[in-house]
Amino acid sequence: MSAPHVLEVRDLRKSYRSPEGEHTLVVDVPSFRMASGEQVGLRGPSGSGKTTFLNLVAGILQADGGSVHVDGGPMTGVSESARDRLRAERMGYVFQTFNLLQGYSALENVELGMMFGRGVDGRYARELLGRVGLGHRLRYRPRQLSVGQQQRVAVARALANRPKLVLADEPTGNLDRAHAMEALALMREVCREHDAALLLVSHDPEVLGHFARVDDLARLNRATSGSGITMPVAEPAPGVGERA
Amino acid sequence: MTRGLTRGLTRGRPRGLTRGIMRIVLRSLRQHALSTAITVLSVALASGLVMAVFAIKRQSYEAFTGGPVGFDAVLGARGSQLQLVLNTVFHLETSPGNIPFASYTAIAADPGVALAVPYAVGDNFHGYRVVGTTDELFTKFEYRAGHKLDVAPGGRIFTAQERGAVVGSVVARQVGVKVGDHIRPYHGLQFDEAQQHDDDYEVVGILEPSNSPSDRVVWIPILGIYRMSGHVLRGTGRTFRPHPDSLIPEEHREVSAVMLKLTDPTAGIYLDQAINRQGKSATLAWPIGRVMADLFGKIGWVNEVLALVAYLVVVVAAGSILASIYNTMNERRREFAILRSLGARRGTVFSAIVLESTTITVLGVLVGYVVYAAILGAAFVAVRAQTGVVLDAWRYDPALLLTPMGMCVLGALAGLVPAFKAYRTDVASNLMPNS
């Protein structure tokens, strides 16, 4: 049942209302596609709307218009809980700050990633952590791990539900150069092994240099490229977000 | 939680979701262990207090109005029926006065009276009442259907003419007397060492515990009261000093009260008519249960105040549940956002918080039973020490089920406010780097 495109974005639009009440368009992407298993580097300087774009793809934000399909499943025009389910079952997300739950061990963090998707499978969780080289750190809390190790827990968690697509938002941004390259190589390898496509957003040319296909969000996104006007801050104001 | 229930809850949902949510809930409770413990205790106090107020109200009402009273009515001096009952049935309060011996013989002969036992009071032994009576109290009176006041093995009932005492079980244990000991009563109902009589009584028997007020009394022959050194009789209205070696003419004798067992309720109606409404010299307290029920009616507001206090404690407990969880909301916004980004639905986060407040409440009501047991135990000891009446502390009372159930509903409701806040957590803004 694998769709030809693991990610298909069409005419995706999102605007925010500024405190003055003006609508500011931050994302306007006419078309973006990824083939099954493909690994794409997306150049996204700050202000290019990258986080908003990724949140729209992940269904964390609701689009104002256009469509997103992940592995054939609609991420737009459906209810919030349908988006939650699609995200849980077919996507993984690696954040720049990892977003690990501090009160839980590495193993529990991966299991929490499974809880809302395919269900908890302790053996697979251990296997994933073993694969990223943390088989001996299962019971460690994030605080007890190095930054590089935390990043690997985040990678293992992103793969916990056997996703078709892994989104990574500056995943190596918090690592030093040597560790960043190591982490990047590991992430790409593990995604390939698990048949997951990888969409990695970065502004680091050396990171992007490893990808066969690199797209430029500033060019894809007409909200930033077309107007020629300096972009306003692309982060949503606190409390402004999606509603069911 | 049983396996079946878990399966039922998780049907159609990812495997391990319920267990996972429970894990999140328990982890959060443990991370805020101090506030959890304080909240659990406040719920326990509230639940235990409400259960105790209701149970003690019911138990004491039943114990004092229908408990081991045994008699139907009391005949005594003109005055308050309540005072008469408290003085004779529960051996509390002071005696309202005496009535002539003839009143006793007259009512004992009434066809409506099945058993008439005279009491004469006025002395104490280390604070416990010394009551003069007849051996009918032991041979005919049943303090509860089928139960007579039995003398423990090794003892016997006194005979009317001797200086013998039958001692209630509580008195025997507290003061430490045994069969064969000689005791000297003290004059008056309040214990005063200077007021000791010269009369020596031999303990001829110790009563088996009856869990009734009789356990707290020293019983002696009624003649003994008349002949007690220093006592005077006023059966004729004039002072009479009994001579140790001569008979006491009946007209000089008097009794404090006559305890009555009636043949049937109609006897109570016409005796009430004859003595209370037409008579002038005596009072009939009948039925004893009604007299005590009136007392509870009069002091009912005390219970209402207690119940009100208990309800207020419940409100405070519910508030503390709300506050304790609500206070963790800010630090947990990121956690909720992460869970949402992992695919948890708003409803899942919402129910996790409600489950958290409910879990606190369930722990609280469980500890509440300990609080309840402690309060009832204290009440049990206090009431028995004061009156000899025994509360049935472990009897089932609907409040024991309804209070915890109500408390759980309230606890879940208290969770709704923070749960709604968690429900509204905005994922995108709380996932911001460094937020």
What are A131-178's pLDDT values in tens digits? 999 999 999 999 999 999 999 999 999 999 999 999 999 888 888 888
Interface test with B, best of A99, A101, A102, A150 (most B CBs within 10 A): A99
In 3D space, the residue among B132, B388, B82 whose CA is nearest the CA of residue B258 turns out to be B132
Q: Do A119 and B14 touch (CB under 8 A)?
A: yes
Whether residue B338 and residue A55 make contact (CB cut-off 8 A), yes or no, is no
What residue spans define the domains of chain B? 3-64+299-430, 73-286
Whether residue B342 and residue A60 make contact (CB cut-off 8 A), yes or no, is no
Calpha distance B94→A142 (Å, rounded): 76
Identify whether the C-beta of residue B334 lies closer than 8 Å to the C-beta of residue A103: no
Is a pLDDT exceeding 50 seen at residue A237? no
The β-bridge partners of A28 are: A13
Residue numbers in A near B426 (CB within 8 A): 238-242
Residue type, B198: D
User: What's the pLDDT score for residue B39?
Assistant: 93
Which is it for the CA torsion A216, A237, A87, A142, positive or negative? positive
User: Using the beta-carbon criterion (under 8 Å), do B427 and A104 form an inter-chain contact?
Assistant: no
CA distance B128 to B221: 16
User: Chain B closest CA to A125's CA: distance in Å?
Assistant: 13
Q: Is the CB of B428 less than 8 angstroms away from the CB of A242?
A: yes
Do the chains contact at A242 and B17, CB–CB below 8 Å? no
- B335 near A CB under 8 A: yes
Model pLDDT for residues A173-230, shown as the tens digit of each residue? 888 888 889 889 999 999 999 999 999 999 889 999 999 999 998 888 888 754 444 4
Q: Are strands A5-17 and A65-70 parallel, antiparallel or unpaired?
A: antiparallel
Q: Are A60 and B16 in contact (CB < 8 Å)?
A: no
- pLDDT for B115 equals 93
Cis peptide before B287 (omega within 30 of 0): yes
Per residue in B130-154, pLDDT tens?
999 999 999 999 888 888 999 999 9
ipTM of the complex: 0.84
Q: Return the percentage of chain A with pLDDT > 90, whole number.
A: 59
- Indicate the average pLDDT of chain B: 87
Q: What pLDDT, on a 0 to 100 scale, did the predictor assign at position B331? A: 83
Position A239 pLDDT exceeds 60: no
Chain B residue with Cα closest to A171: B433
Q: The pTM is what?
A: 0.75
Domains and CATH numbers, chain A: 5-225 (3.40.50.300)
Q: Is B334 at the interface with chain A, CB within 8 A?
A: yes
B26 lies within 8 A of chain A by CB = no
Residue A236 has pLDDT above 60, yes or no: no
Q: Which residues pair with A195 in a beta bridge?
A: none
CA distance A121 to chain B (A): 8
DSSP secondary structure string, chain A? ---SEEEEEEEEEEEEE-TTS-EEEEEEEEEEEEETT-EEEEE--TTS-HHHHHHHHTTSS--SEEEEEETTEE-SSS-HHHHHHHHHHHEEEE-TT----TTS-HHHHHHHHHHTTT---HHHHHHHHHHTT-TT-TT--GGGS-HHHHHHHHHHHHTTT--SEEEEESTTTTS-HHHHHHHHHHHHHHHHHTT-EEEEEE--HHHHTT-SEEEEHHHH-HHHHTT-SPPPP-SPPTT-----
Give pLDDT tens digits for A79-117: 998 999 899 999 999 988 889 998 899 999 999 889 888
Residues B378-388: tens digit of each pLDDT = 998 888 888 87
Residues of chain B with pLDDT under 70: 1-15, 66-68, 432-435
| Confidence (pLDDT) at B70 | 83
Q: Is A66 a residue whose pLDDT tops 50? A: yes
**pLDDT tens digit sequence for B100-117:** 998 999 999 999 999 999
